[in-house]
Structure 1
Amino acid sequence: MPSSSVSRRRLISSAVVGALGGPGVARALEGGENSKVFVEPERELPMVRDADVIVCGAGPAGVSAAITAARAGAKVRLFEWRGCLGGVWTAGLLGWLIDFDKPGLTAELKRHLTERGLNRGGSESNLCYDPEGMKLLLEELCAEAGVMFQLHTKVSAAFKEGNRLTTIVTESKSGREAWRAPVFIDTTGDGDLGALAGCAFEIGEAEDCPCQPMSLNALLVCKDVGLLGDFVRYNETAEEGKSNSDKKDLFRAEIERAGHFPSYSKPTLWQIRDNLLLVMMNHEYGVKPFDAAAVTAATVRARAELHRIVNGLRALGGGWEGLQIAATAEQIGVRDGRRIRGRYVVSAEDLKTGARHEDGVTRATFAVDIHALSAEHNKKAGYTNRGIKTQPYDIPLRALLARDVEGLMMAGRCISGDFIAHSSYRVTGNAVAMGEAAGVTAAIAAATKRLPHEVDWKEGAAKLAAMRQRG
């Protein structure tokens, strides 16, 4: 593993041979053919120093952090390894926004989605949206704010001077590049940057990683959505009086009638527009999101299951006649990744008592939502709150500040919290609010030459309020 000390690898300010390989790659492997370790040859990388804030990961938290930091006056770099902004909203085909009744960017996004005809309905806090339209909207908002975003780019190394993160290395078709900034924000979802920088983290409920399951969603096309109204959430043709739970049970019964039992026992259909539907009916259990081979296997299994079930439904005829998969998600949806240890750990007790904090950056209201941790659990219930009644609770800024590394913040599901609390705050309405808080704090820190933990949240809250008032 590379050291996080800058002295291990020279990082210089001009492009040199080695960014895409060069002579260094051809050097002999020390240790011979039987060695199990490859010593990567030292090479010089191009260094870029044009940002005040660098955000790694352009999911809901990342785009929110980047937009907010840029609007607060910072020069912002945003890196995303997929081919679009939005993360689980877009590449993951989530299709559903939860805990979205908040001020700021959540309200702004909701307004834009409605104006563009991309809001398919729901309530003030929970709504269905068009993932493809969301891609364009996020790109436009980032461009308008002046965010310098780069797709197809992944953070691969982190380097510190003392205990302060100062430099990251990315990999892309442009090769390996080094980037330096005063403040960094980890919004990778899985805490990739925090782990690379040497932060302590937790994952799952215990050491053997009984993680929440992953889910691969898909877009479907049908001949007439009106014939499927009783199975589809917020469809205007549905019979009055059927709850969301009723529709899930009815949909599962149809899948069983087709000869299958879904790996997620509470399958859900949404209408995106016209005859375009989105489906969630897959669970992949116990997969670590940073094990590429395991995630690959889970993705292959999931896609095969989706096709089997859709083929079975189509064979039923009636409203299912002509049902087709238009696309499966580019990225399998991950619920449970690394939780980077911060200066505060959001806990189950916070949810039970409705904790309040002077540095509370948002108030979360979503219930404990632990999806079945195994196929056996799935047969009994698709998800559970473990008997915990969530009271509205604050997420403090301290949970967004890395404990072990200075100059590093987190936002989204990789913030500091325990397994139970994470199952509540992980939803994307909270991720947006956390991103805003991290973005404005990072911008203030960079502008005033302070570390993020030296910025009082009163400053950040006042700055956010002024920005929102300006509209």
Structure 2
Amino acid sequence: MERLTRRGTMNVYREPSKEIPVAASADVIVCGGGPAGVAAAVAAARTGAGTVLLEGHGCLGGIWTSGLLSWIIDAGNKSGIMAEVIARLDRRGARLQSKGSDFTYDAEQMKLLLEEMCEEAGVTVLLHARVVDAAKDESRRLRMVITESKSGRQAWSANLFVDATGDGDLAARAGCRYELGRPGTGEAQPMSLMALVAGIRPEEVEAFTMNGVHEEPKHKLLEQMTKAGVTPSYSAPSLFRIRDGLFAIMANHEYGVSAVDASQISGATMRARKELHRLVDGLRQLGGRWAGLHIVSTANQIGVREGRRIRGLYQVTEADLKRGLKHEDAVCSVRYGIDIHSTDPSGGKGFGNDGKSSMPYDIPLRALIAADVDGLLMAGRCISGDFVAHSSYRVTGNAVTMGQAAGTAAGLAALSGTLPQQLAWQDIAHALNRLEEWK
């Protein structure tokens, strides 16, 4: 075994060099199988590109499934793959529309649906595989992604890569510059752990759910928790009806946690799970409509609102939102407003807009193309944007649309032997329009 050495105050283990087997080569490799990653993989495969999707959890869907998010925002005006997902959920009876454009869905049905979409498109899926490294050539072109899994350490080569890991893990390991949190302080939006709950009757708790026609359901639910003597760390707790007597709840904030520190995420997850049980137990003690309330399952992964924002060829900024900026190479139209969950609980435990305004705006393809590494695109909340803009485009309705654009551009570039930024925009736009045919 190599010797342990000391560097400053830290012990360092020198890992012996070794040959890593190349598991497969593909036209496009997508890292991260959440909403953005699945859309990217399906879109890339539909261009005819051989596509591999690498996911760290045991199912596809990311925050939609492993995270039990259960609530999709800013999807109502989206076409292509997002509209297809909605239509296919409806055919399964697995979606419940709210009074607005947002809706809830059955996470277990979502798992199956996303796997079916990948299978139909011809995507090769590998679960339980986490990105741990990346390799570039001398011209700064990304050539390999390295994963760890039950199969050990493996390398995967491709012509084009898409980072849909949420936290920009692939891009960071490839050497891309990035930003984290608020400028100056680095404070990031808090994390939240979701849970599925049951034992309550829909007609008796309708006034407390986000699906119904009643006003201020969050405030009413907070009043019930306060009455039970269990004040949540998030001052706007939310209850979502999924189907029949199944509900989801989001009622906690984990402040000051870094999305790129495993120890901090572990602590946040366990604290959040403990809090959710305390809140649900408290409500149950009220009796009446809450007498049978119990947790069915807490999520396998805590919901991360904010991780790395990778430097791209274009950065979406607060000024873009204020002006409602449009782009010729627009790949996503964002309707969701500024949504900054409190980064400092001493100043409040809710959410707001920091006194800033926004109008509907576009995300251009350039914001999805890495600036520092060639052959790499981003999709989802790790694209190139500032702190304020990120708080708006980070929701999953937008992630899917960004994913389909990144996957389409990656597929076309891989098949033509060029880079995404060298493609003619009309060719990308035409391919995106063709996604309508897959409904």
Q: Does TM, scored on the shorter chain, surpass 0.5?
A: yes
The amino acid that maps onto 1:180 is S
Q: 1:393 aligns with which of 343, 361, 368?
A: 361
Q: Distance in 2 between matches of 1:35 and 1:283?
A: 32
Deviation of 1:232 (Å): 1.5
- Between the aligned partners of 1:374 and 1:131, the Cα distance in structure 2 is 31
Matched, 1:422 2:390: yes
132, 148, 153: which one pairs with 1:176? 153
The CA deviation at 1:465 is 1.2
- Over 3 Å counting, the alpha-carbon distance change for 1:109 and 1:124 in structure 2 is farther
Question: Aligned residue for 2:41?
Answer: 66
Shift of 1:48: 3.2
Q: Which residue identity lines up with residue 132 of structure 1 in the other structure? A: E
- RMSD over aligned CA atoms reads 1.6
Partner of 2:75: 100
Residues 81 and 435, structure 2, Cα contact 8 Å, conserved in 1: no
Match of 2:19 in 1: 44
1:445-464 superposed matches below 5 A: 445-464=413-432
Written as runs of structure 1 = structure 2, the 5 A alignment for 1:314-325 is 314-325=284-295
Name the SS of the counterpart of 1:434 in structure 2.
Answer: helix
Which secondary structure does the structure 2 equivalent of 1:398 belong to?
helix
CA-to-aligned-CA distance 1:269-320 (integer Å, 9 cap, x gap): 0111111110000100111111011111111110111011111111110000
Give the equivalent residue in structure 1 for 2:53: 78
The Cα shift of 1:372 comes to 1.0
AA of the residue aligned to 1:127: F
Please state whether the residue corresponding to 1:230 is helix, strand or coil.
helix
State how 1:13-412 maps to structure 2 within 5 Å: 27-29=1-3, 31=5, 36-101=11-76, 102-122=78-98, 125-162=101-138, 163-235=140-212, 242-243=214-215, 246-379=216-349, 382-412=350-380
Alpha-carbon deviations, 1:201-248, whole Å to 9, x = none? 00100354210000001000124232212112224xxxx5x22xx111
Q: Is residue 141–residue 373 contact of structure 2 (8 Å, CA) maintained in 1?
A: yes
Q: Which moved more, 1:460-469 or 1:38-47?
A: 460-469
Higher relative contact order (CA 8 A, sep 6+): 2
8 Å Cα contact 1:209-1:286 kept in structure 2: no
User: CA contact under 8 A between 1:154 and 1:171: conserved in structure 2?
Assistant: yes
Which whole-Å CA distance do the structure 2 matches of 1:329 and 1:408 have between them? 30
Q: Which moved more, 1:29-38 or 1:302-311?
A: 29-38
Letter in structure 2 aligned against 1:333: G
The Cα of 1:397 is off from its aligned counterpart by 0.6
Q: Which moved more, 1:220-229 or 1:140-149?
A: 220-229
1:413 pairs with 2:389: no
- Distance of 1:269 and 1:371 partners within structure 2: 17
C-alpha displacement of 1:194: 0.5
Secondary structure of 2:303's counterpart equals coil
Give the match's secondary structure for 1:226.
helix
* Deviations, residues 330-357 of structure 1 (Å, cap 9, x unaligned): 0000000000000000000000101111
Question: Are the structure 2 counterparts of residues 225 and 169 from structure 1 closer, same or farther at C-alpha, using a change threshold of 3 Å?
Answer: same
| Secondary structure of 2:101's aligned partner | coil
Unaligned stretches of 5+ residues in structure 2: none
For the 8 Å contact 2:330–2:363, the answer to whether it is kept is yes
Q: Give the letter aligned to residue 78 of structure 1.
A: L
1: CA distance between counterparts of 2:289 and 2:97?
Answer: 22
Q: Contact 1:372 / 1:384 at 8 angstroms: preserved in 2?
A: yes
Aligned residues of 1:355 and 1:393 also touching (Cα < 8 A): yes
Deviation at 1:420, TM superposition (A): 0.2
Structure 1 unmatched runs, 5+: 1-26
Q: Distance in 2 between matches of 1:93 and 1:470?
A: 27
Change (3 A) 1:35 1:131: closer
| Displacement after TM superposition at 1:463 (Å) | 1.2
Query: Percent identity, aligned pairs only?
Result: 51
Question: What is the letter of the counterpart of residue 266 of structure 1?
Answer: A
Structure 1 residues 467 and 273, CA, compared in 2 at 3 Å: closer, same or farther? Answer: closer
Classify the secondary structure of the residue corresponding to 2:30.
strand
Deviation at 1:454, TM superposition (A): 1.2
Moved segments of 4+, more than 4 Å: 32-35
Are residues 32 and 421 of structure 1, via their aligned partners in 2, closer, same or farther at CA, if it must alter by over 3 Å? closer
Give the structure 2 partner of residue 24 of structure 1: none
Distance in 1 (alpha carbons) for counterparts of 2:169 and 2:6: 32
The answer as to whether partners of 2:316 and 2:367 remain within 8 angstroms in 1 is yes
Contact 2:2 2:15 in 1 (8 A): no
For the residues of structure 1 that align with 2:298 and 2:10, how far apart are their CA atoms?
Answer: 40
AA in 2 matched with 1:430: N
Aligned in 2, Cα 1:462/1:271: closer, same or farther, shift over 3 Å?
Answer: same
Q: What is the rounded CA distance, in whole Å, between the counterparts of 1:417 and 1:131 in structure 2?
A: 29
Alpha-carbon shift at residue 435 of structure 1 (Å): 0.5
Q: Cα 1:37–1:104, aligned 2, differ >3 Å: closer, same or farther? A: same
Q: Distance in 2 between matches of 1:56 and 1:47?
A: 16
- Measure how far apart 1:470 and its partner are: 5.9
Tell me the residue number matched to 2:407. 439
Q: Quote the offset at 1:386 in angstroms.
A: 2.2
What letter is aligned with 2:173?
Answer: L
Q: Is the 8 A contact 1:315 1:321 kept in 2?
A: yes
- Is this contact kept in 1: 2:2–2:14, CA < 8 A? no
Q: How many pairs does the alignment contain?
A: 436
